[in-house]
A and B are shown apart, each in its own frame.
Chain A
Amino acid sequence: MEKLINDLLNCLDEGDMDKAVGIAKEALANGADPVDLFQNALVPVMTTVGDRFSRLEIYLPDLIFAADVAKAIKDEVQEVILKTQKSGADTYLGKVVIGSVFGDVHDIGKNMVSTLLEVNGFQVIDIGVNVPVQNFISTAEKENADIIAMSSLLTTSMPYMAELIKTLDGLGKRDKFKIVVGGGPVSAEWADSIGADGYGHDAQDAVDVCKKLLAIQ
């Protein structure tokens, strides 16, 4: 595994997607257990990627590339799992619908969160910026999401977060989704006060809180 991890990290440094997928394929062809490969190679590689980003040794484009590689390898793993009919066929940790709230076009922080969630094995549906409350809800329903994640950088767009929760309440659908919020002016106390399930102060924290909410180790 150690060697596999290093090889994969090298591919990320070199920006070589085909080679990375090739390495994973080869390991699987040589009989590596797909779930083992996922948990003990891919997860540590992506954790390293996340750490490097939080020290700014790599940047958002590298993170996006790593997320693409992770997705491609996951597809390979998934294929093998489906073929061998093993349990746990769904290798995604959970499904997150994410966006910047109505009126707000700040999206760099949201993009970082969404990419790091993908890097960490979540399926992410990013519905962009300036998203009306109703769009969050209809997308989450259509996609059967586990989590709705909202980003706001403006004190004047934050109220839409509360509005979403109130709307879900009003529709009697509050229990269908976990709600996670974040962005510059948002705080844990405020998240609490509007009845959100979680708050993250940065991208890594966002990943941790989503894992916690879905009770993943």
Chain B
Amino acid sequence: MKSHVRLLDILDKAENGPIMAEKDFDKLISTTVRELIKKYELKYDRKDAIVTDDQVADAFFQAGLELAERVGVYCVSTQRRMIFSREEILEALRWAPAELEIGRGLDRVVVRSRRPEDPLVPINVGGPFGTPLSEELYSQIMESYIQEPVFDSVVGGNFHTIHGREPKTHSPWEVLLAWREVELTKAAAHRAGRPGISVGVVENAVTEIGELSGTSFGGFGPTDWHHVCFTSELKTNYSLLIKVAHLVKTECIIHDFCNPILGGHAGGPEGIALVAIAGVILMAVVNMSTTHSICPTHPFYNCDTAPEIIWAISAAQQALNRNTHLLTTVMTSPVSGPGTESLLYECATMATTATVSGTARIDGVRSAVGVVVDHVSGLEARFNAEVAHAAAGLSREQANEMIKEFQKHYVPLLDKKPVGKSFVEVYDLKTLKPLPEWQKIYDKVKEDVIRLGLPMK
């Protein structure tokens, strides 16, 4: 974001763009995606785990850019399309930062743009990423991530209760949820000796209420980074644009995300890759965001580790990272939970895929697809980050073969919901160390993936 003038332009477009029914916009997306897949001859090939060909990546980028230009973004609140010319889009991409400083003091880190096969290690973000957490365990679970030096930044979970009550979004409770997140995350950071670590916030802000309140005096601030998403597919609304306006005026870093759904309006693997590319480009324009995340999602397993999705992520990331200097991010959202081997193989797959595809920042781990209370722990996220360190500099061909091996260990379980164990069953609450059984599984899988060729330390 180099100037606030664009915000006015965005709000103007949301008010004055052409009117269209939401259903017709969905249809516009599905027909345009189908047409572009044909035009650019994009084809998912089951025999490859990831894309390994620059030409394929570049074709995806051109198609994604064309999609962004042709459909634009739909503002649900005004029922209008916000349309951007190719020049406007390229201008925004040209001025987007290729570097970003987050955190403060000794915990300050710089996120840098990467290219596919780049030896530069990506930035690593750990945390439960919205998984519902018991209020009593919230701070300890957060500490289990912050205490790991491999993490450059962290993200919180959602409260299962709030001051012992049932939490309800879009109500005064959302304000209290945001402030409990501030309080308990900061306490964990202090205990872990990393008071300046940046936090991805406000995780409990389901609507604008939590964000407006939590990003104010004494709350989260400009050295943290703040979530604003698109809804599926390629949509925004006033609740999200209120967040954007607030964050721009409070000089905060905006982090975006979009989660195209496999089998939804975008269609199959090629389609979700295209919508992810167009989504990142358009979020950079509309949300004025500096880091950009995707988590294409499986409609029945709710994960992003299914083989078609892994391939789509590799296509989208290589397209973006070869053709722009945007600070891209990928989210690890596996079906397995703590205490299972399969969880670590899902992590190995995603972290390797993203790292060799040039992703600037690797996020995770949203274990058990982030829906089972307390089924998360610092250890799997540490593993994810360690894989990212090891995979930096590998060739895509090498990674392709390894990932096929990793996938054998979890793909047959995708529909089995191997949600594993809860935090209290895998960590010692006094020492905040993994219990021996979980540590043993970690050690074993680490040895296995080293044997498969991943140079983990």
Contacts and interface: CB of A to CB of B under 8 A. Distances in A.
Interface of A: 53-54, 56, 59-61, 64, 102-105, 107-109, 111-112, 130, 154-157, 159-160, 184-185, 202
A156 B135 CA distance: 14
B268 interface: yes
A185 B371 contact: yes
A111 B29 CA distance: 16
CB-CB nearest 5 A-B residue pairs: A103-B170, A103-B169, A61-B30, A156-B169, A108-B261
A7 to B, nearest CB: 24
Nearest to B260: A108
Interface in B155-208: 158-160, 166-171, 173-174, 177, 204, 206-207
A155 B231 contact: no
B18 interface: no
Interface of A is mostly: loop
Nearest to B306: A56
6 contacts: A59-B267, A60-B264, A61-B27, A61-B31, A107-B232, A156-B174
Interface of B: 26-27, 30-31, 132, 158-160, 166-171, 173-174, 177, 204, 206-207, 231-232, 237, 239, 261-265, 267-268, 271, 299-300, 302, 369, 371
Given A60-B264, A185-B371, A154 B27 contact: no
B249 to A, nearest CB: 23
Residue in B159, B168, B169 whose Cβ sees the most chain A Cβ within 10 Å: B169
B16 to A, nearest CB: 23
B232 A159 contact: no
Contacts of B169: 102-104, 154, 156-157
Given A156-B158, A160-B168, A185 B132 contact: yes
Contact of B206 (A109, A157, A159, A184): A157
A56 B206 CA distance: 30
A154 B167 CA distance: 10
Contacts of A64: 26-27
B300 A184 contact: no
A179 to B, nearest CB: 19
A60 B265 CA distance: 6
Given A156-B173, A159-B168, 8 more contacts: A56-B299, A60-B263, A61-B267, A64-B27, A108-B232, A156-B158, A185-B371, A202-B300
Given A60-B264, A103-B206, A155-B158, A108 B167 contact: no
Contacts of A105: 231, 237, 239
Residue in A105, A111, A157, A184 whose Cβ sees the most chain B Cβ within 10 Å: A105
Contacts of B267: 59, 61
A133 B204 CA distance: 22
Residue in B158, B170, B371 whose Cβ sees the most chain A Cβ within 10 Å: B170
Contacts of A54: 300
Contacts of A109: 299
B263 A184 contact: no
B67 to A, nearest CB: 15
Contacts of A104: 169, 206
Contacts of B207: 103
B372 to A, nearest CB: 9
Nearest to A108: B261
Contacts of B168: 103, 156-157, 159-160
B383 to A, nearest CB: 25
B20 to A, nearest CB: 15
